[in-house]
Amino acid sequence: MVNPIHIVSIALGVAFALGFLGKREKLALGVVYSALAAMIAISAGWLSHFWGNINEPIQIFTGGFKPPFAINLQMGLAESVFTLLINTVGLLGAIYLAKELLQAGKNMMIVFLVLVLGLNVMVMTRDLFNLFVFMEIQSIAIAGLVILNPDRKSIPAGFKYVIATGLISGLLLLGTVFIYYFGGTLNIDFISQESLLYVKGGSVAIFLVLLSIVLELKPFPANGWALDVYEGAHPGIGALISAASATAGIFVLDKLMVFGNFTFYNAISIIGAITFLASNLLGIKQENTRRLLGYSSVGQIGLIMTIIGLKPYLGENTKFIALAILVSHYLAKAGLFWLAGIVNADKLKDWGAIRGHRIYLFLMGTFIFTLVGFPPFPSFFGKWQLVMQLANNHHFWLLAIILLGSLFEGVYLFRWLGYAIKWDEVEQNYPKIKLNQFIPIAIFAVLTYALGFYFGELSGYKSTFIYIAAAFIAFLYIVDFLLVFIKNTLSIAAMGFYLYTNLSSYQSYYLIFLAIFVIGGIITLLAGYTFKGKRTGFYSLVMMMFAGLIGLLEARTTLEFFFAWELMTAGSYFLIIRGKKSMEHALSYILFSVGGAYLILSGFGIAQIGHAGMGLDILKDVHYYAPIAFTLMAIGFMTKLASIGLHIWLPGAHAEAEADVSPMVSAILLKAGVFGLVMLFLSMGPQKLFGIDVLYVLSWIGALTALMGNMMAAFQEDAKRLLAYSSIGFLGYALFGLSMMSHLGWLAALALVIMHFLFKALLFLAIGGVVMRTKTKYMYQMGGLIKKMPFTFISVLIGIIVIAGVPPLTGFGGKWIMYNAIMEKEWFFQAGIVFFAGVVAFLYCFRLIHTIFLGQLKDEHRKLKEAPFWMLFPQYIILIIVFVLSALPNSLLKPIGDILMPYFPAGALEWHGQLALSAYGYWNGKLIMVIVIGIFASVFAWLYIINRKAQKVGQFNIVYAAERPSRPETTHFAYNFFAPYRKALGFLVSPGITNFWDAVSDGAHAIADKVRSIYNGNGQTYLAHIIAYVVIIYVLINGGF
């Protein structure tokens, strides 16, 4: 094994040797690359030596003496990991900065090498004064690199960095002197054995040393100088500061925490938590790319500081959690800084220039989802373990701060990603890919996935299905150059193969959701054959969403469930944002989804208290705070269900999505929330929170959701938004039924869920076809399409009959069962609201079919064609299913009843063929179908006979009051269709909830804007911040002077 001292000797030797190369900059840069590669090889060699072994760290003595008479370095598993991280980003950073280093000359190359050298020694040294020296060296080196490209931002930023770090170094030196005075040694291992905390003045010395390291990590609010550096420095240097310098600083803090006691650990955790929350809050107001990344860097390091401070509680889990989040930050932040240097867009909106560029967007998306903590990246597993441990230690306030800070971080990162994907008010401009800049980014992107797999294995995540699905998704991404027909066929084949090979393993209510997720997915995918060309990126994303949905059914542990939930969210976000005007709505969707996911995660954490395993069966035996866990998870699932108050993301997301994405999202994706509630209710049963029955509250939420959703649907001008609000209302019925916790209530709810899947897929496909032909979503711009699109008209007609609950179709059966369930439960007040909501549903059903297909045909639609075949084909598959289930209701309801019997044995329907008997009446779906068809056929035949010779009147071949009718283009009878109802009841659907969330958003932005005003760019002010910070923290830790 190569002695670790040669990491230092190589860097020093090469730095001195560069001066002998004259003006041969290219040769000099090659030597620098060789030196950094050699340093990587030494670190990697020691990592392989310690990997899997319990060997003691080796000590490297200098000067021929042992400590305390000489400085010693240490190389163990931790040191080998951190030096490898530093040297790797050093080499890749130097490759990225090749052009800049060549232009700046050998002197800047020497500074670069000295920076990497200093960071390595900071990690390896066991001497406090040696640590001070090399911290000074790395500070000076960074200050020099900041002005690599001198301009009006970098020069002031470099100056502020020098004066701020100079003050911090002074504090460190002062503390070091005091420690030597009181302890008699500068060796870290010897100091840790001394009880300096109990020596007069010793605690002050330790305070100064630890706080100086904390200040190097840029805590809020003493970090304005650092934010200016991130903004002013070249992105390649920003990557080094964020990934290399911060990584070394974290290691040093952890190394020196042996000096402190429980009070110091608590102080570090609080400082870190405040920094994480505040930095991410201030970041939501930021529009400058590099400064935004600075806020995120400060916040992430604050989170890792919190984890280090929690070491007394986290125990052995500290290493795993801290390393998972640190590695994610290291890879993602360096990758984003490097990408920022390529795109060269200062403002977030300017990133719209790369919209449509698959490679840049893939890299950007990978790094942003890594930072936010989505699977399959290391940060996901780190945050999972952190939440579990915080909950287990009852640190709920800290848990809330961390999740709130993570949500704030998601706000500005997803907004930035949305601009890059969709912002079209800037000209497309794809920067040329340069290999020296692209290779480092690509390597780090690959490492995020590889290390995600590794940390997943360490966490006990072993979902074979997800790994296979991930491979198929990657395959679809690679073969994205193929035509739509091929990729659509491959996707349908994959879904079909899964169904064929796994159907026998499903039972109970899982079968219902398997049918919705997989069979429903296949049916909706058939519409994909409508599209031509390549449809870039679509199929890998849609398979990601379906993999997440199926993963929910495959999950056997809470970790597997949450992994699948987040995977489904990520896939559906990218599908939604593909819509033409969907950027704002996709952001709303992902933020509500992330917020809901954090509530579910918190609920899982609370449920796991006192349990050793992670199986989903822990929900059946929650030891502590069961009502709180139940409520958190219920609200989390209801965000996907779009219950009232949590619904504002849905209308725009569904309305702006592509023609075949809307049915996937509405008919299929929303059922994930239903599945979560079903699993939760059956596992935990009824719960009372502060004496209030939670299920009773949910019943009211369900009833109000049904009413308000239907009312809002009735007043929409946009056909797709009408259907979106209709989904909100209909799933309110499902929530109401589930909250009854009775056989009939659940039978009605699950039957309505299946019906919702069928008619919503049917209607969104039908209206999608209309929109494709008419080029508009607004109903008042349509009319008279019954003869132009007769097959679509039939689909919509059947769909609205199902929604309205009119016999003989299945909607009536669901309504009848719901009536029986209400009579049994005696929830009559909620029943009044629910059935009134059904009346309102008839209004929007009538409007939908009347304004689109009846009335006057517009001139521009005279040559309109029927919807494409592949849009109609899945509709008629659904129509066949609807008619079969309507004629033979026991083919659906009896199996569902059998599934529910073990859970709710009382109150089941009694079946005699197609006749269903309950305690309150009977219903025969088949007989009703026969009677209705007979009446319809008789009336139709009679009308046909008496009108067979009637003359057909042309559209304008009529006169009334001696005048011809107005042309359809000037009438717009369908606009503001229910104006009288709006005048009477419109106050009920005023956007109060939307205004509430807007106020929350505006308030957060206003607070962020106000607080960040403390960063005024004045170096003297920043020094005052640091001094005040030291005084305040000292007072808080010691309780006074």
pLDDT in tens, 567-586: 999 999 999 999 988 999 99
Express each pLDDT in 108-151 by its tens digit. 999 999 999 999 999 999 999 999 999 999 999 999 999 877 78
pLDDT in tens, 407-441: 999 999 999 999 999 998 888 889 888 999 999 99
453 has a pLDDT exceeding 90: yes
Q: What's the chain's length in residues? A: 1041
Q: What is the pLDDT of residues 668-682, one digit of tens each?
A: 999 999 999 999 999
Pairing relationship of beta strands 688-689 and 692-693 according to DSSP bridges: antiparallel
Q: In 3-state terms, what secondary structure has residue 130?
A: helix
Beta bridge partners of 345: none
For 501-557, write each residue's pLDDT tens digit: 999 999 999 999 999 999 999 999 999 999 999 999 999 999 999 999 999 999 999
Tell me whether residue 642 is exposed, middle or buried, using C-beta atoms within 10 angstroms of its C-beta: 0 to 12, 13 to 18, 19 or more.
buried
Is the backbone peptide bond immediately before 219 cis, with ω within 30 degrees of 0?
Answer: no
Whole-number CA gyration radius for the chain: 33
Q: Does 963 score more than 70 pLDDT?
A: no
Q: CA-based angle 785:786:790, to the nearest 5?
A: 115
Look up residue 320 and give its amino acid. Answer: F
Mean per-residue pLDDT over the chain, rounded: 92
User: What pLDDT, on a 0 to 100 scale, did the predictor assign at position 441?
Assistant: 96
Residue 1040 pLDDT > 60: no
Question: Do 974 and 783 form a contact (C-beta atoms < 8 A)?
Answer: yes
Starting at the edge strand found earlier in the chain, the sheet holding 910-912 runs: 910-912, 915-918, 921-924
Distance of alpha carbon 91 from alpha carbon 119, whole angstroms: 13
Place of tokens 């010691």: 1038
Q: Would the pLDDT of 1041 be above 50?
A: no
**Confidence (pLDDT) at 56:** 86
Lookup: tokens for 951: 């003359």
Q: Which of 129, 94, 95, 84 is nearest to 114 (CA)?
A: 94
Q: How far lies 651's CA from each of 422, 642, 716, 723, 729, in Å?
A: 19, 10, 10, 8, 12
Work out the percent of the chain whose per-residue pLDDT is above 90: 76
* Residues 300, 224 contacting (CB under 8 angstroms): no
> Could you tell me where the DSSP H helices lie in 857-964?
869-887, 890-900, 925-946
pLDDT band with cut points at 50, 70 and 90 for residue 854: confident
Query: Is pLDDT at 316 greater than 60 in this prediction?
Result: yes
Helix (H) or strand (E) holding 917: strand 915-918
Domain ranges of the chain: 1-126, 462-937
Integer CA distances (angstroms), 365 to 297, 341, 358, 428, in order: 17, 16, 10, 18
In our burial notation (b when 16+ CB lie closer than 10 A, e otherwise), range 104-134 reads bebebbbbbbbbbbbbbbbbbbbbbbbbbbb
- Give the integer Cα–Cα distance in Å for 749 and 735: 7
What is the pairing mode between strands 910-912 and 692-693? unpaired
Contacts of 362 (CB under 8 A, 6+ apart): 445, 477
Residue by residue, DSSP assigns 490-545 as HHHHHHHHHHHHHGGG--TTHHHHHIIIIIHHHHHHGGGGG--S--TTHHHHHHHH
Which alpha helices (DSSP H) does 97-242 contain, by range? 98-104, 106-124, 128-146, 154-183, 188-193, 202-216, 224-232, 235-240
* Neighbouring C-alpha atoms within 13 Å toward the C-beta of 834: 27
In this prediction, residues 828-854 reach a mean pLDDT of: 91
Comparing 58-67, 418-427, 988-997, the range with the smallest average pLDDT is 58-67
- Note the pLDDT tens digit of each residue in 362-386: 999 999 999 999 999 999 999 999 9
* Beta pairing class for 921-924 and 915-918: antiparallel
Query: 261: exposed, middle or buried (C-beta count within 10 Å: 0-12, 13-18, 19+)?
Result: middle
Give the integer Cα–Cα distance in Å for 643 and 729: 8
Whether the CB-CB separation of 414 and 368 falls below 8 Å is answered with yes
The alpha carbon dihedral of 510, 512, 517, 523 has a sign of positive
pLDDT single digits (tens) 694-743? 999 999 999 999 999 999 999 999 999 999 999 999 999 999 999 999 99
Residue ranges in 60-127 assigned as alpha helix (H): 77-96, 98-104, 106-124
